[in-house]
Amino acid sequence: MRVLAAMSGGVDSGVAAARAVEAGHEVVGVHLALSRNPATLRTGARGCCTVEDAHDARRVADVLGIPYYVWDLSEQFAEAVVEDFVAEYEAGRTPNPCLRCNETIKFSALLDKAVALGFDALCTGHYAQVRAGESGPELHRAVDHGKDQSYVLGVLTADQLARAMFPLGDTDKVDVRAEAARRGLAVADKPDSHDICFIADGDTRGWLERRLGSRPGQVTDESGEVLGEHQGAYGFTVGQRKGLSIGRPAPDGRPRYVLDIQPVTNTVVVGPAEALDVRVVVGDRQRWCGAVPDGPVEVTAQVRAHGEAVPAVAEVRPDGSVQVELRQPIRGVATGQAVVLYSGTRVVGSATITATRR
């Protein structure tokens, strides 16, 4: 097969590309330039898509003896991921930019371009597995559950999965680094990137404030009593404990957490931890890896990339939304997050959370 290998400049994508070459495929490497003003160097494990990352990817391609290109998708990334991120926080929601990037950039813009150029598959260093099922390709968790990325890939369609190649899904991360060293890849010991790639310093609130400006408002308790003031409701997320701008402790001395963000009134509501418990989530923008469920289905539901999956019942409602009733509560679920549904290790589908109920 002709395979396009997405090469970030990290160890995972490097070993994934190497395995594709070793399997006998005709492999071409491509690095995505996603930043309009890429930094020259990374700061430890923060950020990605820097000039240094592009050079690292080229060095890996040279070792593998494969053609290598840099494709500029910065305009699409800015619109589909960065601007979406800002708009979601401005609306009081908590987005997952990695999930949105997989949906709109890597497995939409990039895969579409690859297919148009005659490639059969897109190879990435994601930790997940694609298996043949009775009704088509299935997405499953990786063997290394600590690195499993099936959650952020839960937005992929069956057609996209049919052209996806995840060579690392059956391998532990420790073994991937050891393999990179054996292959002579200079990225073998390179730190993993983490946090949000386009906020290299990790200060999300500060980054949003520079984009949206100061918007003073009130911090209240559930009864409406004013407890303090903030400089922008967009700087908070449900479940947050620190940096709440509260001038006095709770009467019982217990910590307070963000319970709700009300963008219309620019109000942040705080309260006790137990008020964060959620037993029902409702979502839209659903994606199904297979047939749409006809009636209630028993699943496990996960609302964070490395969160616990809890037993649940999911059902498509008459209005087209998905309702997920949790067998046990999940604490601190925010609208804008994704709920990904599993049957065992298999991803059944996903949806973007629009409402929660206690």
From the list 48, 49, 101, 289, the catalytic residue is: 101
Selection from 165, 167, 118 nearest residue 2 by Cα: 118
Q: How far apart are alpha carbons 133 and 153 in whole angstroms?
A: 17
The reply to whether CATH 3.20.20.70 applies to domain 214-271 is: no
Judge contact between 153 and 128, C-beta under 8 A.
Answer: yes
Task: Write down the pLDDT at residue 144.
Answer: 94
Task: Write down the pLDDT at residue 250.
Answer: 80
197 in active site: yes
Q: How far apart are alpha carbons 343 and 313 in whole angstroms?
A: 11
Task: Write down the pLDDT at residue 34.
Answer: 87
Q: Which homologous superfamily does the CATH classification assign to the domain defined by 2-182?
A: HUPs (3.40.50.620)
Task: Write down the pLDDT at residue 122.
Answer: 97
Mean of pLDDT over the chain:
91
Residues 54-108: tens digit of each pLDDT? 999 999 999 999 999 999 999 999 999 999 999 999 999 999 999 999 999 999 9
Helix (H, G, I), strand (E, B) or coil at 170: coil
Residues 269-287: tens digit of each pLDDT? 999 999 999 999 999 999 9
Q: Where are the domains of the chain?
A: 2-182, 214-271, 276-357
Q: How far apart are alpha carbons 358 and 355 in whole angstroms?
A: 10
Selection from 100, 154, 165 nearest residue 347 by Cα: 154
Judge contact between 316 and 299, C-beta under 8 A.
Answer: no
101 in active site: yes
Once rounded to an integer, what is the mean pLDDT over residues 10-32? 97
Task: Write down the pLDDT at residue 100.
Answer: 92
Once rounded to an integer, what is the mean pLDDT over residues 210-237? 93
Is residue 237 pLDDT above 90, yes or no? yes
Q: At 41, is the pLDDT very low, low, confident or very high (cuts 50, 70, 90)?
A: very low
Residues 276-332: tens digit of each pLDDT? 999 999 999 999 988 888 899 999 999 998 889 999 999 999 998 999 999 999 998
From the list 48, 49, 123, 197, the catalytic residue is: 197
Is residue 22 pLDDT above 70, yes or no? yes
Task: Write down the pLDDT at residue 59.
Answer: 97
Q: At 166, is the pLDDT very low, low, confident or very high (cuts 50, 70, 90)?
A: very high
More confident residue, 68 or 201: 68
Q: At 181, is the pLDDT very low, low, confident or very high (cuts 50, 70, 90)?
A: very high
Q: Which CATH architecture has domain 276-357?
A: Beta Barrel (2.40)
Torsion of CA 127, 132, 138, 142, to 10 degrees: -20
Q: Do domains 2-182 and 214-271 have the same CATH topology?
A: no
Is residue 39 pLDDT above 70, yes or no? no
